[in-house]
Amino acid sequence: MTVAQDNMDVAVAAHGDDRDKFEGVQTPFRRFLSDYCESKLAVIGFFVISAITLVAIFAPLLAPTDPYDLASVSIMDSRLAPGQAMMTGTTAHLGTDGAGRDMVSAMIYGLRISLGVGIGSGVIAMVIGISVGLFSAYAGGRVDSVVMRIVDIQLSFPAILVALILLVTLGKGVDKTIIALVVVQWAYYARTIRGTALVERRREYIESAVCLGLSERRIMFRHLLPNCLAPMIVVGTMQVAHAISLEATLSFLGLGMPQTEPSLGRLISNGFEYIMSGKYWISVYPGIALLVTIVSINLVGDRLRDVLNPRLQK
Amino acid sequence: MSVFIIRRLLQAGLVVVVMSFIVFSGVFMVGDPIEILVSDDADQEERDRMIKSMGLDKPFIVQYGLFVAKAVQGDLGESFVFNEPALLLILDRMPATMELAVVALLIAVVFGIPLGVWAGLKPDSLASKSIMTGSILGFSLPTFWVGIMMILLFAVYLGWLPSTGRGDVQVILGMPISVFSWDGFSHVLMPAVNLALFKLSLVIRLARAGTREVMHQDYIKFARAKGLSDSRIILIHVMKNIMIPVVTVLGLEFGGLVAFSVVTETVFAWPGMGKLLIDSIGQLDRPVIVAYLMIIVFLFVFINLFVDILYSLLDPRVRLQDVKA
Amino acid sequence: MSNAQAPTLEVRDLQTYFFTKGGIARAVDGVSFTVERGKVLGLVGESGSGKTVTGFSVLGLVDEPGRVVGGEILYHGENLVTASPDRMRALRGANIAMIFQDPMMTLNPVLRIDTQMIEAIQAHEQVSDDDARQRARDALGQVGIPSPDERLRSYPHQFSGGMRQRVAIAIALLNKPDLIVADEPTTALDVTIQGQILFEVQKLCEETGTALIWITHDLSVVAGLADDICVMYAGRVVEQGAVDNVLDRPMHPYTHGLIGSVPSRNKRGQPLSQIPGMTPSLLALPEGCAFSARCPRVGDACSAIPDVSAPEAGRELRCHYPILEAAP
């Protein structure tokens, strides 16, 4: 199986996989910016995701009601259609869910959780992945092949399955969800950074650093790492989108986030049982919020991939 | 060639052993089966008897050894909930899942390759840009939400397609298949499209990237210099080159389809092994969870092996390397 | 349309521009030359001088963002610039063939040699598979590939570079074209292989009356092979004429410099002369003569592009201050 992975690498390398394309990115920031802005969609994506992030950060200020405050949530308000007034007098512009929470507020808080879990797990996985990948590339030999076998085997199993098993074992909760998502993601980073590092290591500037007698750690972190960052940015962006989607899926399956801290996925799941009776809003609106978030991140990531890829620049 | 197969078989065996240990120890920690099996008012003595009869009092390593010994004989334990062998339960649901995955794979290939090649040939046309934007959407849409939206639109509002379940099943060549009857087809259509969306985007992107890469090669220009028609250049010279990554990735992704059918089956109440897994997780039915995972591990190892061999048939350069190796 | 008296190929004032993000690159700007039946024209220049683009223009294979924007390419009197894509496809491979620079890249790695040869025949003629295979085998034998039957069933990676280039030449010869454009076909090969291939190509041209455009930067190859020579610089032909004439008495300072920078036994111990500076970017050509910045004979008139002059019969030149005295 691991050899299949190797073969795939060969095929993918020969046919234009992204990781190998990033070697030697030295684009000055301004050229990068003007290249990036050539795609209007990508610019829109950037502004949308920035706005979404701000909404998530300032959720308590922006949400009309506090969906965690049990005192203000009344079961009498459950499943109100969009535009109806709640017991407290607030208008539920997007309706209320089965527990009587205002959908707008629940979504803003849900966004906060989804984004937090996605970015949090992405950052932790990136740190672990970069450390392991760089170490593996630098150590080489037996250590490298053992680490890469582990990475290959893990990547040959679908993320959803690995996360599912972990959550079955660990139980529900923010921390557990993040652990599961980190375990699922670290290998992508490790493999990407190792691939780039191996290419970069053969470059003259590393050889000259070795000749200067710099310490290995200094070469790894001050010389090698900065030159491997471009693909990490692309993989990181895509992985955060992936993590958000995965967390939503796990929560939908009843794993992942608990009912008391509903992420967007959990909100959609809650609305699923009312779909047949036509009470669409409980599932549809959180879904749209989730979609817009993931699409914007992917648009940004997609553009970054094109811009940071020297082989496509002609 | 045979050295190559034997080496891969050995690797595959090792992966199965390692994975069985990970799976068993992972699921070993889940819940307490005694809580489910023994009624609440049972006394301690009855609980102890139960624990002993199930071997739960033995050390973990012994339990794992017993599990392996039985597993080698094809016994993956008995479901706590159904009181049936877990393996049989899963094999019973497997055809439904396989049918769903195969139909989804076909949808992804039949629509994905032409769209991707088109987008690769004319990267600046409006159609290509729409295709590529669409594929970003396909990557971004969470499968389960799309499924819900499809049910809302086609089942609840339009009433065109049934929302849940599997249609009439016919036995064809010893396999229970539903897709060839209208009722069965109408049931499988929505879940299959739902499951296919992600892979469709993937195929489009692979085919486009491959086409763009290949079209810049000298041998394509040389083929044009020979006076070949555009259709021959695309269908033979370009396609054969892009099929290598597409087949490799698709082969590996078939396992992903089977795994991801867990989500689609839950949304559409499709009676496959994925839904069985989710139900079993809910009921803490350990033997079924373990059996499902072991079957998936086997499936993945088999698929990887199969793709390796298929790959070496497609790309003559790989064959040469193996002869040398 | 076609004309028996007309030369095999006559290019008049060809202009091929590339419309890039950074501006318009005039890769070929006003190139004219003629190739008669059975003759070899050497197209010489540094990389980036537009010689390859000229070759691609003849075959109608200029890729986006490039376009032939002006001039005529007359093949037996028929203008290829205005020919339909179908007509061009019918001519390519059958009447006009091309051999590429890098033999490692010109054959499709995933298709067997026989597939790639038979399709080249069947694209132009209704021939049975067996007959086509027979012709492919003969063509391989013709270019000196041993046991052609066996080799037909091989994949490109099973051949060495020299063998691959022979296969590419065999493919170019399959349909007995009367014009071959060879784009530095021996540059990537060992010197001994290069010699063998040159010899075989020369023999074939003499035997079949095929006209040949040999694109190269190697003056020694041209000296031994070509009848006429065109020296290109920055998209323009700066000097042309019969090969011995031009090489013995170069009139353009660029040609002169080019010949001077070829190492030779006669000049052992003396420092090689060199052309100072480097090829200008096509996106930022200097005003006037493109060579003026590097030219030892530069003068006031060089701020205007020199017209084509004919200092003597069969010679053409683009220079304000040509070297007209006897060679130093």
pTM to 2 decimal places: 0.76
Question: Are A299 and B241 an interchain contact pair (Cβ–Cβ within 8 Å)?
Answer: no
Which phi and psi (to 5°) does residue C239 adopt? -155, 140
Chain B CB contacts of A42 below 8 Å:
none
d(CA C113, CA C163): 12
Q: Looking at the structure, tell me whether residues B236 and B323 fall in a common domain.
A: no
One-letter amino acid at C289 equals C
Residue B227 has its nearest CB partner, among C93, C109, C116, at: C93
Beta bridge partners of C9: C35, C75
Whether omega for the bond prior to residue A286 falls within 30 degrees of 0, making it cis, is no
Question: A-contacting residues of B 286-315, CB under 8 Å?
Answer: 289, 293, 296, 300-301, 304-305, 307-308, 311-312, 315
Ranking A254-258, A292-296, C152-156, C299-303 by mean pLDDT, the lowest is A254-258
**Is there a domain that residue A41 lies in?**
no
Write out chain B residues lying below 8 Å of A254, CB-based. Answer: 278, 281-282
Distance, in angstroms, between B114 CA and closest chain A CA? Answer: 18
Closest CA to C140 of C118, C111, C108, C109: C118
A157 with B7: Cβ contact below 8 A: no
Q: Are strands C236-242 and C211-216 parallel, antiparallel or unpaired?
A: unpaired
> Residue A227 and residue B171: Cα distance in Å, rounded?
59
pLDDT at position A124 over 90 = yes
User: pLDDT band for position A24 (50/70/90)?
Assistant: very low
Spatial neighbors of C111 by CB under 8 A, at least 6 apart, are B236, B237, B240, C155
Domain spans in chain C, listed from the N-terminal domain onward: 9-95+178-317, 104-174
| Overall number of domains in chain B | 2
**pLDDT given at position B115:** 92
Hey, are the CB atoms on B226 and C93 less than 8 Å from each other?
Answer: yes
Q: Is B248 on the interface with A (CB under 8 A)?
A: yes
- Is residue C168 within 8 angstroms of chain B, CB to CB? yes
Q: With a CB-CB cutoff of 8 Å, which residues 53-112 of chain B face chain A?
A: none
Q: Among candidates B255, B278, B275, which has minimal Cα distance to B102?
A: B255
pLDDT given at position B324: 41
Q: Which residues of A touch B205 (CB under 8 A)?
A: none
A275 in B contact zone (CB under 8 Å): yes
Kindly report the three-state secondary structure assignment for every residue of C241-283.
EEHHHHHHCCCCHHHHHHHHCCCCHHHCCCCCCCCCCCCCCHH
Chain C nearest C-alpha distance from B222 (Å): 6
Contacts C115 to B, Cβ<8 Å:
236
Domain residues for the domain of B2 are: 1-81+288-325
**Residue A5: pLDDT band by 50, 70, 90 thresholds?**
very low
B210 touches chain A (CB under 8 A): yes
From the list A281, A82, A159, the residue with the least C-alpha distance to B148 is A281
Helices (H) and strands (E) in chain C, counts: 11, 11
> Do B61 and B168 reside in the same domain of the chain?
no
Q: Smallest Cα–Cα separation from A184: which of A264, A126, A233, A113?
A: A126
Number of domains in chain A: 1
* CATH, residue B178: 1.10.3720.10
- Window 120-149 of B: residues touching A by CB (8 A cutoff) are 133, 136-137, 139-145, 148-149
ipTM over the 0.90 cut-off: no
Mean pLDDT of the residues in chain B:
80
Q: Are residues B179 and B207 in the same domain?
A: yes
Encode pLDDT of C156-205 as tens digits. 888 888 888 888 888 988 888 889 999 888 777 777 777 877 887 788 77
- Whether A217 is in a domain gets the answer yes
Determine, for residues B136 and A272 on separate chains, whether the beta-carbon distance falls below 8 Å: no
Name the neighbours of B, counting chains with at least 3 Cβ pairs within 8 A.
A, C
Same domain? B257 vs B324: no
Tell whether A178 is covered by a domain. Answer: yes
- Domain spanning C9-95+178-317: CATH superfamily: P-loop containing nucleotide triphosphate hydrolases (3.40.50.300)
Please tell me whether residues B172 and B263 are part of one structural domain. yes
Q: What is the mean pLDDT of residues C90-111?
A: 87
Average confidence (pLDDT) over B79-92:
82
The residue among B304, B307, B317, B318 with the most chain A CBs within 10 A of its CB, best to mutate, is B304
pLDDT in tens, A195-248: 888 877 777 777 787 888 777 777 777 777 777 777 888 888 888 988 998 888
Show residues of chain C in contact with B227, CB under 8 Å.
89-94, 120, 123-124
Residues B220 and B144 in one domain: yes
The residue range of the domain holding A58 is 51-68+94-290
In a domain, A302, yes or no: no
Express each pLDDT in B5-31 by its tens digit. 777 788 778 888 888 887 777 776 665
pLDDT value, residue B31: 57
Please determine, for residue A311, whether its predicted confidence score (pLDDT) is greater than 60: no
Rounded Cα gap, residues C8 and C75, in angstroms: 6
Q: What is the pLDDT of residues A132-141, one digit of tens each?
A: 988 888 777 8
* pLDDT band for position B38 (cuts 50, 70, 90): low
> How distant, in Å, are the alpha carbons of A207, A295, B136, B193, B252 from that of B115?
45, 20, 14, 16, 21
Write the pLDDT tens digit of every residue in B250-304.
Answer: 777 787 888 888 888 988 888 888 888 888 888 777 788 888 888 888 888 887 7
- Please tell me the distance from the alpha carbon of residue A90 to that of residue A68, in angstroms, as a whole number: 16
Q: How far apart are CA B20 and CA B33, in angstroms?
A: 20
CATH number for A220: 1.10.3720.10
Å between A39 CA and nearest CA of chain B = 11
A19 pLDDT band, cuts 50/70/90, is very low
Do B198 and B308 belong together in one domain? no
Residue of chain A whose Cα is closest to the Cα of B302: A1
Q: How far is CA A152 from the centre of its chain?
A: 20
What is the dihedral angle through the alpha carbons of A211, A212, A215, A219, rounded to the nearest 10 degrees?
Answer: -80
Give me the residues paired with residue C74 across strands: C10, C79
Residues of A in contact with B30 (CB under 8 A): 168-169
Shortest distance, CA B258 to any CA of chain A (angstroms)? 10
